[in-house]
Chain A
Amino acid sequence: MPTAEAVQKEWEFEPLEAQEWPDATPQVAGWDEAATEITVKLSVSVGVHAPSRSEKLKAEFERAREILKLKDDWDGEGSVGYSTETLDRAILFVSTHASKLWESFGLAAPIPTIGPGPDGSIDVHWKLPAWELLVNIPQNSDAMATFYGDDYGAQKIRGSFDPRRFNSGVAEWLIR
């Protein structure tokens, strides 16, 4: 299983100047067919501008704070509650990757759903039409985060990494 460190060594960044992508709304008038196709592809893979994404991300972080209301046995089945520290690590993981992708490449990461995971851990889950990725942030701050993603087909990504550090393998998956 590749660790984050192993993946990072394989994929080095060359920082690029951030640049804005075209508006997600296709500008069909006056465009030829090829240009329209390119615009649609960009809209699907990149989505709307980062400022709009930023607001949505902020809203998701706010919603995720509901998790902190879940105390031990919150589901009546003996599940343990969640700590602020674990949630903060989950939020830091998401915001670090979203910021780095925007600042380095001008690419806006999709918005995940942050939810309760097993044993006091927190799940960060992206489910898109073309791919899915689940990152689990453990309750133990010294433990590695684990992740699995696939494109509903043959391409898969899995492993573990320190969620306090930028992981290029996960980041690459987020901008597929």
Chain B
Amino acid sequence: MADSVGWPAEVIPDSDFVFMRAHRDHFPGGKLAPGLFRQRGGGMSVDWEKYSTPEETKNRAKQPADNAVVKLSAAGIRAIQPLRVEHTPDYPENRSHSDVFDMPTDESLVEVRVRLLRITDVVIPTTPTAR
């Protein structure tokens, strides 16, 4: 499906990965914590690797130096019920933009966050600069 002006939304294959920024404060005690995973607006924003590098994802932050970048597999996300990951390009800013939809709003959110953390790998760590 194509926007009237812009980029078409494509299907993200299970074999692909998506990137996500992780602010340095999501690493309490130096380890990535499940607090990273939260819905903002309609979904949880991620960048599809087809159209973004980890560095580009990092540089889209307001303060890139304060952010790490993590990656999650599309298949891994889809294996966590009821999550969906879909390409939602943001024309003309970010063709890679995608969303993880259906993050629970009830008590099952804690389970979903634990399971998301397990399929997450840090691809760009935070830099040890002072705040």
**A residues apposed to B, CB below 8 Å:** 1, 60, 63-64, 66-67, 70, 74-79, 113-119, 123, 125, 127, 132, 134-136, 144, 146-150, 158-160
A66 to B63, CA, bound (A): 19
Interface: B71 (CB within 8 A): no
Contact status B110-A63, CB under 8 Å: no
10 smallest CB-CB distances across A and B, nearest first, come from: A76-B62, A118-B38, A115-B28, A75-B23, A146-B107, A148-B111, A115-B33, A148-B110, A116-B35, A117-B35
**In the complex, which residue of chain A has the Cβ closest to the Cβ of B33?**
A115
**B residues apposed to A, CB below 8 Å:** 21, 23, 25-26, 28-29, 31, 33-35, 37-40, 45, 61-63, 66, 107-111, 113-114
Contact status B110-A146, CB under 8 Å: yes
Shortest Cβ gap from B113 to chain A (Å): 7
Contact status B28-A63, CB under 8 Å: yes
Within 8 Å by CB of A134, from B26, B34, B45, B66, lies: B34
A123 to B38, CA, bound (A): 12
A122 to B26, CA, bound (A): 12
Complex interface: chain B residues within 8 A of A147 (CB):
110
Complex interface: chain A residues within 8 A of B29 (CB):
60, 63, 113, 115
Complex interface: chain B residues within 8 A of A79 (CB):
38
Complex interface: chain A residues within 8 A of B35 (CB):
115-118, 123
> Which of A63, A115, A127, A147 lies at the interface centre, i.e. has the most chain B CB atoms within 10 A of its CB?
A115
> Which of A119, A134, A136 lies at the interface centre, i.e. has the most chain B CB atoms within 10 A of its CB?
A134
A134 to B114, CA, bound (A): 7
Complex interface: chain B residues within 8 A of A144 (CB):
107
Known contacts A74-B25, A113-B29: A123-B34 contact under CB 8 Å: yes
Within 8 Å by CB of B111, from A63, A64, A123, A158, lies: A158
